[in-house]
Structure 1
Amino acid sequence: MGYKNGKDILPPNLLKQLQDYIQGEIIYVPKKEQTRAGWGENNGTRQTIQRRNHEIYRLYQNGYSVSELIGKFHLSEDSIRKIIVKTRGLAARQ
Structure 2
Amino acid sequence: MKYTNAKKILPDKLIIEIQKYVQGETIYIPKQQKEYQHWGSLSGGRQWLDQRNAEIRQAYKNNSSIEQLAEDYFLSIETIKKIVYSGNNSERN
TM-score using structure 2 length: 0.63
Provide structure 1 residue ranges, at least 5 long, that are not aligned to the other structure. Answer: 11-17
State the Cα deviation string for residues 17-75 of structure 1 (Å, max 9, x = none): x9xxx5xx7355x7873521111111000000000000000000001001110110000
Q: Percent identity?
A: 30
Contact 2:66 2:77 in 1 (8 A): yes
1:25-64 correspondence runs (5 A):
26-27=16-17, 33=32, 34-64=34-64
Change (3 A) 1:57 1:40: same
2:52 partner letter:
R
Change (3 A) 1:91 1:69: closer
2:53 partner letter:
N
Deviation of residue 4 (structure 1)?
A: 3.9
Considering fraction of residues, name the structure with more helix: 1
Deviation of residue 5 (structure 1)?
A: 8.9
Measure the CA separation in 2 of the matches of 1:36 and 1:5.
21
Q: Calculate the aligned-residue CA RMSD, in Å.
A: 3.0
SS in 2 for 1:68: helix
SS in 2 for 1:26: helix
TM-score using structure 1 length: 0.63
**Count of matched residue positions in the alignment of Structure 1 and Structure 2:** 74
Provide structure 2 residue ranges, at least 5 long, that are not aligned to the other structure. Answer: 19-28
